Amino acid sequence: MSVVGASGDLDRCLGITDTAGVGGRRPILVSLIGPGIGDEAIFEAEHAAEADQRPLIGFTPTHAVDVIAFCNSSVDHVVTALLTAAVMDVIGGVANAELREDQVPVVADLPGIVATTTDPWPASYGSAAFLSEWSEQPGFRLLK
């Protein structure tokens, strides 16, 4: 299942008031994949390179919700993080946030961190609260 919306509408819904001068509607894709929803083989292929997550987060993920902005302004990054947090508030789960090397110390002490890893790349696993807190950090950016 995929849902396409526009971040111009989501800004208001998510309580974002500082849009950094970015106006208009910008596309956002929300996709759910896993057994019984979408193609299970695609889910497995997309996650094959990841480290075993059971020791990190306490369970093996079976489904994924991807939230993707098709624009690259700072407000689009914040919308993506906050929309992901809102989805997590409804369905639960743990966010897997890939990090740049310089972001590792920024997120290390944020609330809601479940685990961190550097293999095969730096990443933090966290709650909706983690995403919300991280999105408020100066210079916040998600990896593409």
Q: How confident is the model at residue 42 (pLDDT cuts 50, 70, 90)?
A: confident
pLDDT tens-digit series, residues 102-140: 999 999 999 999 999 887 789 999 999 999 999 999 889
Q: 3-7, 13-17, 49-53, 99-103: lowest mean pLDDT where?
A: 3-7
CB 120 within 8 A of CB 62: no
Rounded to 5 degrees, what angle do the CA atoms 122, 107, 90 make? 95
Q: Is the dihedral of CA 88, 66, 5, 21 positive or negative?
A: positive
Phi/psi-derived region of residue 67, left when phi > 0, alpha when psi is between -120 and 50, beta in every other case: beta
In tens, the pLDDT along 60-92 reads: 888 888 888 887 778 888 888 988 998 899 888
Q: Domains of the chain: which residue ranges? A: 2-135
Looking at residue 44, what is its pLDDT? 78
